[in-house]
Amino acid sequence: MTLYFKAMTTGGSSDMLIRSGVVAFSLVIGSAAGFAETLEGALAKAYGVNPTLNAQRASARATDEAVPQAKSLGRPTVSVTADVGPQENDGKTKSFTGFGAGKYSLVTYPRGAGATITQNIYNGNKTQNSTRQAESQVLGARETLRNTEQSTLLNGATAYMNVLRDTAILNLRRNNVEVLEEQLRQTNDRFKVGEVTRTDVAQAQSRLAASRSDAILAESNLKTSLGIYRQQIGDEPKQLVPAKPVEYLLPKTRDQAISISQTEHPAIRGALHGVDAQLLQVKVIESDLYPTVSLQGNVQDRFDTSAVGSIGFSASVVGRLTVPIYEGGLTYSRVRQAKETLGQTQITVDIQRDAVRAAVIQSWGQLEASKAQIIASQAQVRAAEVALNGVREEAKVGQRTTPDVLNAQQELLNARVSLITAQRDRVVNSYNVLSSIGRLDSATLALKVSPYTPVVHYQQVKDKWIGLRTPDER
Spatial CA neighbour of 413 closest among 388, 439, 444, 438:
388
Number of separate domains in the chain: 1
pLDDT value of residue 12: 39
> Which residues have C-beta within 8 Å of that of residue 393, sequence separation ≥ 6?
none
Rg value, the chain, Cα: 39
pLDDT given for residue 87 in this prediction: 77
Q: Which residues contact residue 178 at a Cβ distance below 8 angstroms, ignoring those fewer than 6 apart?
A: 16
Q: Hey, is 65 helix, strand or coil?
A: coil
Q: Report if residue 200 sits inside a domain.
A: yes
The verdict on residue 85 lying in a domain is no
**Element at 293 (helix H, strand E):** strand 292-303
In-domain check, residue 473? no
Measured distance CA(110)–CA(125) in Å, rounded: 43
Write b or e for each residue in 134-156: b if 16 or more Cβ atoms lie within 10 A of its Cβ, otherwise e.
Answer: bbbbbbbbbbbbbbbbbbbbbbb
Residues with pLDDT less than 70, the chain: 1-35, 91, 93-102, 104, 305-309
Closest CA to 206 of 184, 186, 230: 184
Give pLDDT, residue 310: 73
| Inside any domain, residue 272 | yes
Domain with 437 in it: 15-76+124-290+326-443+452-461
| CATH code (residue 238) | 1.20.1600.10
Q: DSSP state, 117?
A: E
Residue 161, domain member (yes or no): yes
Q: What is the pLDDT of residue 152?
A: 96
Angle at CA 106, nearest 5°, toward 104 and 107? Answer: 150
d(CA 238, CA 24): 15
Q: Which residues of 64-153 form beta strands (DSSP E)?
A: 77-84, 87-93, 102-108, 111-122
Q: Look at residue 6 in the predicted model and tell me its pLDDT.
A: 33
Residue 317 included in any domain: no
- Residue 419 is predicted with a pLDDT of 94
| DSSP letter (8 states) at residue 289 | G
pTM (2 d.p.) = 0.84
**Does residue 474 lie in a domain region?**
no
Q: Is residue 47 exposed (0-12), middle (13-18) or buried (19+ Cβ within 10 Å)? A: buried
Residues 6 or more apart whose CB falls under 8 angstroms from that of 117 comprise 76, 77, 78, 296, 297, 298
Q: Which whole-number Å values give the CA distances from 432 to 18, 363, 377, in the listed order?
A: 31, 6, 22
* 374 domain residue, yes or no: yes
